[in-house]
Amino acid sequence: MMEVFESINFYTLDKAIRTYRMYSQKQLKANGCKISVDQWLIVKCVLENSGISQQEIAAKVFKDNASVTRIIELLVKSNYLERLIHPKDRRKSHLKVTASGKLIIEKVYELVLQNRRTALQGIAQNDLEILNATLKKIIENCTS
């Protein structure tokens, strides 16, 4: 007999992640932030990793290259990112976070922290450490 969805750990994990992302996006909108969770992640990724390529961004934010390209186009149009011609190879471009991009990262960061506090409310620190260790072990099992 096959197990029901709700008893499968990976189903519950995926549901928790999706629920958290929907909650986070709803909070962004409710607080007047004109940026999506995915857009914020990409701006933050570029800010923290100067000179990062689109392929590297895609790997860091778990998105395919086509999605990252579309999101970057929106971020350039929204003036959160600037695309500069690569100084040594004109076929490549370099992404730079604009002043507006830095402001939105700062503005949204407090909301991100609040979202995390809400999501983790009532969960003991020890339980979070066990969860983190367990998730890292699953990643290790699936990448070795």
In order of 98, 127, 142, the CA distances from 136 in angstroms are 34, 14, 10
The pTM (predicted TM-score) of the whole model is 0.83
| Whether the Cβ atoms of residue 115 and residue 24 lie closer than 8 Å to each other | yes
State residue 2's pLDDT score.
Answer: 78
In order of 6, 96, 98, the CA distances from 84 in angstroms are 48, 7, 11
Residue 135 tokens read as: 């998730």
Measured from the Cβ of residue 35, the count of other Cβ atoms closer than 10 Å reads 22
Question: Is the dihedral angle over the CA atoms 49, 53, 56, 58 positive or is it negative?
Answer: positive
pLDDT tens track for 50-89: 889 889 999 999 999 999 999 999 999 999 999 988 777 7
Residue 17 tokens read as: 């992640």
> How many Å apart are CA 35 and CA 41, to the nearest integer?
10
State residue 87's pLDDT score.
Answer: 73
State residue 85's pLDDT score.
Answer: 80
Buried b (16+ CB within 10 A) or exposed e, 110-132: ebbeebeeeeeeeeeeeeeeeee
Q: In which band, very low, low, confident or very high, does the pLDDT at 31 lie, cut at 50, 70 and 90?
A: very high
